[in-house]
Structure 1
Amino acid sequence: MQAIILAGGFGTRLKTVVSDVPKPMAPIQSKPFLAYLLDYLHAMEFKQIVLSVHHMSEVIQAYFQNNYRGMTITYAFENEPLGTGGAIVHALKSVRQDEPTWVLNGDTFLALDYKAMYQQHRNSPLTLALQKVQDASRYGNVATHENQIIEFQEKGAVMPGLINAGVYLLHPTLFTAFSLPPIFSFEQDFLQPLITSIKPQAFIVNQYFIDIGIPEDYQRAQTEVPRIIESY
């Protein structure tokens, strides 16, 4: 299997505790968060990884180089921030075009059964992993009907729901039918306005999930993430 990991963000909200490395390289017990994510993908039998990088890309490249635990590592460099959508389109040039590609956020971790999601995906153009949570206010709720995503709802309402867990499975040709600018947000500029055309599918899970984007969750990750990864 092949995956693109979005690792080019600035990590603005985390700078109070981690300021000298890009957010995916934030240390978790002296090991980068991104390394734990790749450890999990190795356990899930991934073979090819494309790291989409921009901010302090040299730090990421120096650590992982071109191979990590037998997985081939290549890099899609952004000369300027392209937004999540632009970064995905750019990175897709570096993957095999004849099979689906996973896309992951580099600052979140979901203990996902990738093979099960792949089986459900089949020939769908796009499938999103949705995590069940008790409070969806930080992310916004995702409404579904019979495993099809029908609406991305605004952040703010404190309520149980489904959130976008930052793991996508898509065909590399997903974007070719649409006229898109070079810089755009995957969710705000593509998924939300084009939802009726794309008809994205939902793979709903209730597994361990963490987003290290804020200091409180980053501190929680120090003990939780190593324990979860070591169990695989």
Structure 2
Amino acid sequence: MKAMIFAAGLGSRLKPLTDTMPKALVPIAGRPMLEYVILKLKAAGFMEIVINIHHLGEQILDFLKANGNFGLSIHISDERSLLLDTGGGVRKARSFFENSNEPFLVHNVDILSDVNLKELYESHLRGGAVATLLASRRNTSRYLLFDSDQRLCGWVNKDTGQVKPEGFHYDHSLYQEYAFSGIHVLSPAIFQLMDTLRWEGKFSIMDFYLATCRQINYSGYLAENLQLMDIGKPETLAKAERFLYQSIQ
């Protein structure tokens, strides 16, 4: 099985730590967050991984080399000349994935969770959607909206009232509200949908999903009791060690 780790972010919220190291190498309990994600993927059976790099990316290359790529086949999608955001990052890495019918899992480097990645991947295989998004019940201002068939229909910002896609009518009685986790499974068919001028260069994968969800089946893997932590902010670093001991299997 194949996966991609988004490790190219600037880590602006973690300054000044990220002045001298990439976000992916910020340590939690003495080990870089990238290591936790790699080992979680490996334990779930993902043996081929693409990692994108940008800010201080050479440090990630050195880290992987020093650890023998953790016994995995690891490829680098080099964005050091231009940071492409999540959608552009997926599109740039297409050569690693598109010549196969095999779906691939995408995982943000700054997310810790107790999700069973193998079960998520197998759910995608069974469901037949172009993408399957892990989403959970948690308090936030921004929600993905799924219908009764767990199909992605839209997005709402509860603070501002903004909705996506453009022209979408939000009726809270018709949709289930879940927060995106930063973990999803994509089928290679996704790349054909990106072959337009609109989806060249830098763009968000969520903007892509929401712009195309009326025509394309994107499914939700909807978790009611997911334990998840975004460790991209300073206030969560202190909590992350305890979270690891309690939640990561």
Task: Report the Cα distance in structure 1 between the residues aligned to 2:24 and 2:245, rounded to whole angstroms.
Answer: 15
Partner of 2:4: 4
1:172 aligns with 2:188: yes
1:125 aligns with 2:126: no
Partner of 1:99: 102
- Residues 172 and 192 from structure 1, CA distance in 2 versus in 1: closer, same or farther, beyond 3 angstroms? same
Q: Which residue identity lines up with residue 127 of structure 1 in the other structure? A: T
Task: Report the Cα distance in structure 2 between the residues aligned to 1:68 and 1:55, rounded to whole angstroms.
Answer: 20
How far off its partner does 1:36 sit? Answer: 0.9
How far off its partner does 1:52 sit? Answer: 0.9
- Residues 37 and 67 from structure 1, CA distance in 2 versus in 1: closer, same or farther, beyond 3 angstroms? same
SS of the residue 2:36 aligns to: helix
Partner of 2:228: 209
Q: How big is the alpha-carbon RMSD for the aligned residues of Structure 1 and Structure 2?
A: 2.0
- Residues 226 and 77 from structure 1, CA distance in 2 versus in 1: closer, same or farther, beyond 3 angstroms? farther
How far off its partner does 1:227 sit? Answer: 4.7
Task: Report the Cα distance in structure 1 between the residues aligned to 2:182 and 2:130, rounded to whole angstroms.
Answer: 16
TM, length-normalised to structure 1:
0.89
- Residues 62 and 100 from structure 1, CA distance in 2 versus in 1: closer, same or farther, beyond 3 angstroms? same
- Please say if residues 136 and 161 of structure 1, whose CA atoms lie closer than 8 Å, have aligned partners that are also in contact: no
Q: Which residue identity lines up with residue 77 of structure 2 in the other structure? A: A
How far off its partner does 1:40 sit? Answer: 1.2
Task: Report the Cα distance in structure 1 between the residues aligned to 2:84 and 2:192, rounded to whole angstroms.
Answer: 17
Task: Report the Cα distance in structure 2 between the residues aligned to 1:104 and 1:67, rounded to whole angstroms.
Answer: 21
Task: Report percent identity of matched pairs.
Answer: 28
Deviates more, 1:62-71 or 1:6-15: 62-71
Q: Which residue identity lines up with residue 216 of structure 2 in the other structure? A: I
- Please say if residues 48 and 72 of structure 1, whose CA atoms lie closer than 8 Å, have aligned partners that are also in contact: yes
How far off its partner does 1:112 sit? Answer: 1.5
- Please say if residues 5 and 103 of structure 1, whose CA atoms lie closer than 8 Å, have aligned partners that are also in contact: yes
Partner of 1:24: 24
2:88 corresponds, among 86, 89, 103, to 86
Q: Which residue identity lines up with residue 238 of structure 2 in the other structure? A: Q
Partner of 2:44: 44
Partner of 1:71: 72
**1:40-98 CA distances to partner (integer Å, 9 max, x unpaired)?**
11211210111011111111111112843322111010121111111111112123623
The total of aligned residue pairs comes to: 224
* Larger-gyration structure (1/2): 2
Q: Unpaired runs of 5+ in structure 1?
A: none
TM, length-normalised to structure 2:
0.83
